[in-house]
Amino acid sequence: MTQTYYDTVTELEKMSVNRDYLLGWMGGYLQNTAREEQRVTEAYEAGYDDGGNGNTESAAQWLNK
């Protein structure tokens, strides 16, 4: 894993993003197989897509309030 991975995960945790977004981002970044259809949430899909693209563009939409 790269320092970028660790830095991004740390930043997302500090931002207090939704847990599903964070797990999706990590899975997408690492190119893991996505969750089973019945366990996928909107936050997970957004994180998985962002992670796969190596960005955090939609992270601000998934902050815990």
pLDDT in tens, 2-46: 899 999 999 999 999 999 999 999 999 999 999 999 999 999 999
Pick left, alpha or beta for residue 22 (phi over 0 → left; psi -120 to 50 → alpha; otherwise beta): alpha
For residues 38 and 50, give the distance between their C-alpha atoms in angstroms, rounded to a whole number.
20
Query: What is the pLDDT, as a whole number, of residue 1?
Result: 74
pLDDT in tens, 3-12: 999 999 999 9
**Domain limits, the chain:** 3-55
Distances in Å between the alpha carbon of 30 and those of 17, 18, 47, 65?
19, 19, 12, 27
Average pLDDT over residues 41-53: 96
